[in-house]
Amino acid sequence: MKLAVYPGSFDPVTLGHLDIIVRASRIFDQLIVGVPTNPEKHASFTVEERMELLRRATQAEGLRNVEIDKVDGLLADYAKRRGAMVVVKGLRALSDFEYEFQQALTNKKLNPELETMFLATSAENMFLSSSMVKQVAGFGGDISPFVPSCILETIQDRLCGRL
């Protein structure tokens, strides 16, 4: 069985993230979408909330071979424990590549059996990031074109201060 991990902060999950998840799920028998715990980051959503948003979004897409999981510690160690041979990373721009390439080389050094596969973001999502969604929402803008409709209200409630 070909097993891959797609890690990310997903704070919040965007249509760009979902596009990579859908495409990677067609390539691999099973895809783990990994949400890392990082106490140094000040996230808008807890790890558990991000995992639930991802579950709702992937279920709405009918993705039966996608698992949502928390990643504690190093990604290279997590992948080894789970038996994953590939890390999937989405790339929007050349600037993404430099950082992701450095991470890929580090993961390879830590786990020589682990490969990294880069998927180019679809053209319609090249500009899209969680940070952009948070900024637009913070100013009361419409984020519906940027996030899955099944989780739009939850994201708006948090980011637009409607709780």
Task: Give catalytic residues, as residue numbers.
Answer: 17, 41, 92, 130
Are 65 and 30 in contact by the 8 Å Cβ rule? The answer is yes
Q: How far apart are CA 59 and CA 152, in angstroms?
A: 15
Are 8 and 35 in contact by the 8 Å Cβ rule? The answer is yes
**Which residues are registered as beta bridge partners of 116?**
87
**Which residues are registered as beta bridge partners of 7?**
34
Are 141 and 147 in contact by the 8 Å Cβ rule? The answer is no
Using only C-alpha atoms, the chain has a radius of gyration, in whole angstroms, of 15
